[in-house]
Amino acid sequence: MEKYAHAKLNITLEIRGLRPDGYHELDMIFLELKEGDRIIGEKTKEGITLSCSDPSLPCDERNLAYRAAALMRERFGIKEGIRLHIEKRIPSQAGLGGGSSDAACVMNLMNELFCLDADPKELEEMAGALGSDVPFFIRGGCQRAKGRGEILTAIGAFPPCTVLVVKPDVSVSTPWAYRAYDQMEDPAEAGSGCTEAAEKAIRSGDFPALCAAMHNDLEAPVIKEYPEIGRMKEELFRLGADRAMMTGSGSAVFGLFSSAEKAASALAALESSCNAQIFLNEICSDHS
């Protein structure tokens, strides 16, 4: 069986405070993209075997996809084993949710492969134990995400546009990004209410209002340390993006283009001028 583990973008990331458990209280909008890792899974007699096209990634308990498979076997009492292979396309430490998406994809894949007919709510709850972003990938689509990121509400169709994703040649650690935010002198003011405004704009199909509302609270502290991310964002604006922003804790930035032609020429310009990884993406509209 084969499935795609799609990447995500943060259309907003608003930090509402620090929680007693050390996590941050968030209000965000996630958008699923068509681009993703390819995961192949087949039944075996016993155990979990994981392989990956990227030799730099661990294939044992350190890999979230492996932990997802172990959790599924344990929770559903699966006696048989599973062999999994991940063909990586989503860059790691980019804010595109690659590891989280692989984990959710393994859960959905095993649910089908072993005919478990699991309640999606139960899968989401299990996913939350693996990581804050994993429940989103069980559902996909365009979702408002609160709490640690696990309290989800579907928003519906995203306004039509073309997405260009660029990953500068730096990797950002998520815990580091949140710590850098906490150490800022005057955090949290700029983005206040952006998620509410962006949800309204998506629901009414108002693309200019959506672009105006988009905001990521982690962007300022991360760009301060990694100015190349800021330069890439400026480049996307210069090449005609209606809005450019960092996703998650970075380092990837993305541009939304109302004109597909402008996006295509921006892609061509970037391909000839920089050595960053670039994807021209489609928004996943299979779910709502």
Residues forming contacts to ligand C5P in the complex (CB under 6 A) are 23-24, 26, 131-133, 148-149, 174-175, 178
User: From CA 246, how far away is CA 262, in angstroms rounded?
Assistant: 20
Q: Which is nearer to ligand C5P, 159 or 191 (CB)?
A: 191
| Catalytic-role residue among 8, 88, 167, 233 | 8
- Residue 8: active-site member: yes
Whether the CB-CB separation of 107 and 138 falls below 8 Å is answered with yes
Q: How far is 60 from 81, CA to CA, in rounded Å?
A: 15
Q: How far apart are alpha carbons 70 and 141 in whole angstroms?
A: 26
Q: Which of 27, 133, 217, 242 is an active site residue?
A: 133
Least spacing, CB of residue 128 vs ligand C5P, in Å: 9
Nearer Cβ to ligand C5P, position 19 or 43? 19
Cα gap 187→190, rounded to integer Å: 8
β pairing state of 215-216 and 2-18: parallel
C-alpha distances in Å from residue 66, one per residue of 70, 215, 216, 244: 6, 33, 30, 34
Q: Nearest distance from residue 83's CB to ligand C5P, in Å?
A: 26
Closer by beta carbon to ligand C5P, 6 or else 24: 24
For the CB of residue 133, give the shortest distance to ligand C5P in the complex, in Å: 6
Cα end-to-end span (Å), the chain: 24
Q: CB nearer to ligand C5P: give 149 or 159.
A: 149
From 92, 104, 163, 161, select the one nearest 130 (Cα to Cα): 104
Residues with a catalytic annotation lie at 8, 133
